[in-house]
Amino acid sequence: MAVDEGARTVTAGRAAQELELRRGEFRLAVQLGVVRTVPAGEGDRRRIERSELDRLRAAPDFPAGLRERVRAVGTREAAALLGITADRFTRLARTGHLSPVRFSLNRYRMVVWMYLAQEVVEFGLTCPDLLVGRLPQELRERLAEHVDRRPRNWRTRRLGLLLRATEDPWARAAAIASLLDPVQLAEVVDDPYERTHLDRLRPPPPPGMPVSPVAREIAERLTLADDPDEILWHRLSLALALDEARAERQAPHPGETWVTGGGAEALAVREAVPAELVAVAAEPVAVPAEPVDTADSVPLPAGWSAGVSRPPGRTVRVRVLERFRRGRATGATRPRRPKRPAGWP
Q: Identity (one letter) of the amino acid at 234?
A: H
Q: Exposed/middle/buried for 108, CB within 10 Å: 0-12, 13-18, 19+? A: exposed
- 159-173, 186-200, 248-262: which range is least confident on average? 248-262
Closest of 327, 156, 333 to residue 229, by C-alpha: 156
Q: Identity (one letter) of the amino acid at 247?
A: A
User: What is the three-class DSSP state of 58?
Assistant: coil
Q: Exposed/middle/buried for 203, CB within 10 Å: 0-12, 13-18, 19+? A: buried
Cβ atoms within 10 Å of 113's Cβ, excluding its own? 23
Closest of 202, 193, 206 to residue 251, by C-alpha: 193
Longest distance between any two alpha carbons in the chain, whole Å: 89
Q: How many residues does the chain have?
A: 345
Which residues lie across from 10 on neighbouring strands? 48
Q: The dihedral of CA 13, 19, 23, 24: what is its sign?
A: negative
Confidence band for 255, pLDDT divided at 50, 70 and 90 = low
How far does CA 187 lie from the centroid of its chain?
Answer: 20
Give first-to-last CA distance, the chain, whole Å. Answer: 23
Q: Say whether pLDDT at 133 is over 90.
A: yes
Which long-range contacts link 59-63 to residues 24+ away (Cβ below 8 Å)? 63/19, 63/20, 63/21
Q: Mean pLDDT over residues 110-124, rounded?
A: 96
pLDDT of residue 42: 60
Looking at every residue in the chain, the average pLDDT score rounds to 79
- 109-113, 274-278, 340-344: which range is least confident on average? 274-278
Report the share of the chain in percent with pLDDT over 70: 70
Q: Say whether pLDDT at 215 is over 60.
A: yes
Q: Identity (one letter) of the amino acid at 22?
A: R
Q: The dihedral of CA 22, 23, 28, 34: what is its sign?
A: positive
Q: Mean pLDDT over residues 75-88, rounded?
A: 97
Cβ atoms within 10 Å of 120's Cβ, excluding its own? 21
Q: Mean pLDDT over residues 155-180, rounded?
A: 95
Question: Who's near 302: CB < 8 A, 6+ residues apart?
Answer: 311
Q: Mean pLDDT over residues 239-245, rounded?
A: 97
Q: Say whether pLDDT at 266 is over 70.
A: no
User: What is the three-class DSSP state of 9?
Assistant: strand
pLDDT of residue 282: 42
Q: Mean pLDDT over residues 7-18, rounded?
A: 90
